[in-house]
Structure 1
Amino acid sequence: MTEQHEKVDIGQWTSSSQIERDLELTNADFTRIRELIYQRAGIVLAEHKREMVYSRLAKRLRHHGLTRFSDYLSRLERQPDAKEWEAFTNALTTNLTAFFREAHHFPLLADHLKNKQEPVSVWCSAASTGEEPYSIAMTLLETLGSRASQAKVVATDIDTDALDKARKGIYPQEQVRKLEDARIKRFFQKGTGNHLGLARVRPEVTSLVEFMPMNLLAPQWPVKGPFDVIFCRNIMIYFDKETQAKILKRFAPLLKPDGLLFAGHSENFSYISDVFKLRGQTVYNLANR
């Protein structure tokens, strides 16, 4: 999950008008969906997300040959360990991301890590389709030189579809062209033939990044700190304040005493938790350091 962008890779959805002709999403159905995704992933779905929910879950109903949302939801509730929960969560996860998005963070990242002698580790807790962790890895290569080979970027997300795309490291050239020419030449391979119009992230970048699925609400996290930096950008906005506070408290022991926590441009952790204190523009330190 990641930084959030409107999904483009979960299939071709039937138009809203067509969905309305053969499927009905009742108020009770929508309420159940909101409760289930909150319980499963901590995501708070606003009322205005109804059409998005309608279009995305309609494909899952058709996949299973169902005509009622209530039947689909009942199946989920009867089978708490079913694989379909993953598809349900993926469908309702929204990801907006780009290479070097919120660009002011990356010089701060470089400055924080440039004099580190021990191996550097960074956790990107909302990796989405990979642009953010790859931007972090590129920054490490630019900053650390030969020492970057010992660095690692742990990239997690609840959306397994997004992680599959991230692992491939292939993006439209239109998305890559926004970067500086020097970065494009150093970090990307230009597609030819059947891959014309695409760009692949070079192995020197992808080798630094380890992708793994993770739910921030899970009782156990697979990541092992402490990290020099944690990126948690534009994901907290989908949680209520109680959930945000719990996650921030769990971040603290995973961050080195002088570590940094990067938040999204619309997020302010100062009013949520006393665990972190604001250091700069959406950048935080541990409060007890």
Structure 2
Amino acid sequence: MNTQTPLPPGSLRQIVPSEAELNTIATILHEAAGIVIAPGKTSMVQSRLAKRLRALQLNDYASYIALVRSSEGIAERREMISALTTNVTHFFREKHHFDTLRTNALPPLIARARAGGRVRIWSAGSSNGQEAYTIAMVLAELAPDFDRLDIRILASDIDPMMIARGRSGIYPETAIEPIPTDLQRKYFSACDAGAEVIAPLRKLVSFKELNLHNPWPMSGKFDVIFCRNVVIYFDPPAQAKLWQRFENQLAPGGWLFLGHSERITPVPGSQLTSAGVTTYRLPESGPKSGDTTWP
């Protein structure tokens, strides 16, 4: 039990992590999630972890570090990762990717699904689900019968709060402004908190908490993987490892979409080739996607 005297409201803002404490927090974050805290981020760490120290009634960062390093601190370690993870997203972000999805990637996949095959799409690092639901809207426009086809979208993120928001499918009205008006009318309904994704579209997307740095529980292959503006927070060795893991998780002919500042450096043995702006693809050969399932 914590026996420290709680700090007066607001005084926690005056506590600044030392350089050694900041380095330790950065090490824990990197080991747990592969994320790198860039130099000069003391104020960011302080501001984001202040609420956690206040909630736990801890007076200093040393006590907090001791907690997240302990076996009793597993839950708080997840809270720390959530607090230090940057969640920036919006519907139809980097529109050129969805144009490629609409014109090149999805039509043959939909044809396969209508012939009795399966299609699996993964939005990795999906934040609060706006990317996954954008994919779903593009798909629904091409295949109004999507609910009768074996097509599924997996949306994963390391932050359980983001997963919960995505699963709810509820967004403020300002969040849906980038969506064309006709699609807003078709795929959202008004609610007290703003706008809610319609039930058929929500059923198309499964939300799961997943740390990309850890082993992945999915079996089978994905036909399309979106992982945009996530890997920029990893160091180069972690990035290279993740690119290889994504390639291994792609079905033949599969598509990989990255963020605007992310590039894959060619390595021996890789079959990924450029297929557009921050877009990569495997050659069409071998069996199609198999039994892709997730818990």
Q: What is the alpha-carbon distance in structure 1 between the residues aligned to residue 269 and residue 54 of structure 2?
A: 47
AA partner of residue 270 (structure 1): T
Q: Do 2:13 and 2:47's aligned partners in 1 also have CA atoms closer than 8 Å?
A: no
Distance (Å, rounded) in 2 between the aligned partners of 1:248 and 1:170: 32
Matched letter for residue 124 of structure 2: S
| Residue number in structure 2 paired with 1:30 | 22
Q: Which residue of 2 aligns with 1:4?
A: none
Change (3 A) 1:132 1:88: same
Aligned amino acid, residue 235 of structure 2: D
Find out whether 1:254 has 2:249 as its counterpart: yes
In structure 1, what is the equivalent of residue 229 of structure 2?
A: 234
Q: Determine whether 1:88 maps to 2:80.
A: yes
Question: TM-score, normalization: structure 1?
Answer: 0.87
Cα distance in 1 for residues equivalent to 2:177 and 2:132: 18
Where does residue 263 of structure 1 map in the other structure?
A: 258
C-alpha separation between the residues in 1 aligned to 2:39 and 2:265?
Answer: 27
Aligned position for 2:182: 182
Name 1:115's counterpart in structure 2: 108
Tell me: higher relative CO, structure 1 or 2? Use CA pairs within 8 A at least 6 residues apart.
1
* RMSD of aligned residue pairs (Cα, Å): 1.9
Counterpart residue number, 2:124: 125
Verify: 1:162 aligned to 2:155, yes or no: no
**1:283 counterpart = 2:283:** no
Sequence identity percentage: 36
Distance 2:81 2:236 in 1: 21
* Contact preservation (8 Å) 2:121, 2:223: yes
Contact 2:254–2:282, Cα closer than 8 Å, also in 1: yes
Whole-Å Cα distance in 1 between the matches of residues 41 and 217 of structure 2? 31
Gaps of 5+ in 2: 1-8, 286-295
After superposing the two structures, state which structure 1 stretch, 271-280 or 154-163, moved more.
271-280
Number of aligned positions between the proteins: 268
TM-score, normalisation: structure 2: 0.85
Post-superposition offset of 1:288: 9.2
Residue 44 in 1 paired to residue 36 in 2? Answer: yes
Residue in structure 1 matched with residue 152 of structure 2 by the alignment: 152
Cα offset, 1:80, TM superposition: 6.8
The Cα shift of 1:69 comes to 0.2
Structure 2 contact 253–283 (Cα < 8 Å) conserved: no
Query: Following superposition, which runs of at least 4 residues in structure 1 exceed 6 angstroms of deviation?
Result: none
* Structure 2 CA distance for partners of 1:137 and 1:263, relative to 1, 3 Å: same
| Contact 1:245-1:273 at 8 Å conserved across structures | no
Partner of 2:3: none
